[in-house]
Amino acid sequence: MRPPRLLLLAGLLAAQQAGAVRWGADLSSLARLEAAGAVWRVDGQPADPLTALAGEGAGLLRLRLWHSPSEPWHGLDSTLALARRGREGGLELLLDFHYSDSWADPGHQAPPAAWAGLAAPALEDSVRVYTRRVLERFVAEDCAPRWVQLGNEIDGGLLWPAGRVNDGWDTPVQWQALRRLLAAASQGVDLAFPDPAQRPGRLLHLANSGWEPGCRRWLDSLSVAGGPDFEGIALSYYPWWHGTPETLQGTLDALALRFHKPLFVVETAYPFTLGWNDDTHNLMGLESQLLPGFPATPAGQRAFLAMLRERLAAVPDGLGHALLGWEPAWISAPGQGSAVENLAWFDFGGEALPALSLPAQLDPGVPRMAARPLGSARLRLDWEPVLGVDHFLLEAAPTPLGPWSPVDSLGCCGWESPPLEGAGFLRLRSLAPRP
């Protein structure tokens, strides 16, 4: 008789199994806001948003990278500096290549000025070499990313007009050009990480998560001979642009079943108020832009994120991997307005809102464990203490996807099983939020 397998051995695996979801945030503007004098608080005390998010259970830090920005932010050096801070705080890096000197999104995909006018072979080589050199620099700084985005919101392609595929550019010739450019980016990752075991996962990022046929056609068009290698699919979801949660769920489920790759919502946000704190025009602020049942209140914002987490957890085959808030620390700063201050996870006074603590509450970390078979389908588990947690729940299931049933309520930090015939898999969950 074989002892059951221990399903969750570490926090990283915990977020990839049995419906758990990894959490994170894009904090690309943090250094610029700090330089302008922005102040954030948790329970009334000044706090570093990066440290606060990590302390509340977030595990991923997403940072955008521009090629040669005109300002001192979002370039290689400043992005590396933020990545180092994230690494020291225990966050894994999701590096978002924009392949531009400024914002890249569905309406803007301008190539870097340094690449202007290059013929196709030279442009592809520039993408390949740039990707490789950037990642080699991150490796040298001990900040190797866990995930890499090959472009940002590239529904219409990237490096326009060379790799443009929207509107009148939707032709076989343009799709072939886009495949070659993204393949060059993918090859740059390979060259920077010759050992596949060390290689970050590559993500393709689409904005229009509310249009399942368009997302499917786009990925089908790339998933042919000569297309890029990629390990995951990234989506943006803003309900006022992309539709209902049910529409998003349809896209997530369809892409999971068709491509069998982890799915990320790498950008999302929801208001805690329809008010404003500065003179900068906000991205959203109308009652008509809200989802029914989710008011523009701190509780409504929290409920939206919790609902979205449940949508990801319900994706077939456990492929709903991660949920990241977009710039949840971008509050108004002295002399600088914010277009998203009403979407932040901090209020207009910089105080943390309930959304900040969701990761630890909904997907608490799993401690490191050691499992030792004792024979006769018995098992000895020992695990490390978790700060602030003294209550754990052990669950068993016949398959990795459940159904899960409770086995025992445990204190810290060891357990010996009776015979568990037919259990197959075990998981251990901490049942208290981190302090």
pLDDT in tens, the chain (435 residues): 344 444 432 222 232 334 579 999 999 999 999 999 999 999 999 999 999 999 898 999 999 999 999 999 999 999 999 999 999 988 999 999 999 999 999 999 999 999 999 999 999 999 999 999 999 999 999 999 999 999 999 999 999 999 999 999 999 999 999 999 999 999 999 999 999 888 999 999 999 999 999 999 999 999 988 899 999 999 999 999 999 999 999 999 999 999 999 999 999 999 999 999 999 999 999 999 999 999 999 999 999 999 999 999 999 988 999 999 999 999 999 999 999 999 999 999 999 999 999 998 888 765 556 677 776 667 788 877 765 566 777 777 775 545 667 888 888 888 887 766 655 677 776 654 433
| Beta carbons of 265 and 308 less than 8 angstroms apart | yes
Q: What angle do CA 283, 287, 291 make, to 5 degrees?
A: 90
To the query of whether residue 267 is one of the catalytic residues in this protein, the response is yes
pTM listed for this prediction: 0.83
d(CA 351, CA 47): 9
pLDDT value, residue 290: 98
d(CA 287, CA 283): 13
User: Among the residues of 202-325, which ranges form H helices?
Assistant: 212-222, 239-242, 245-259, 298-313
d(CA 55, CA 434): 7
| Residue of 153, 327, 341, 395 marked catalytic | 153
Residues sharing a CB contact under 8 Å with residue 109, sequence separation 6 or more, in sequence order? 99, 100, 154, 156, 157, 158, 159, 160, 163, 164
pLDDT value, residue 7: 41
Q: Which CATH number fits domain 21-362: 3.90.1150.10, 3.40.470.10, 3.30.70.20, 3.20.20.80?
A: 3.20.20.80
| Residue of 56, 124, 212, 267 marked catalytic | 267
Q: How many CB atoms lie within 10 A of CB 349?
A: 11
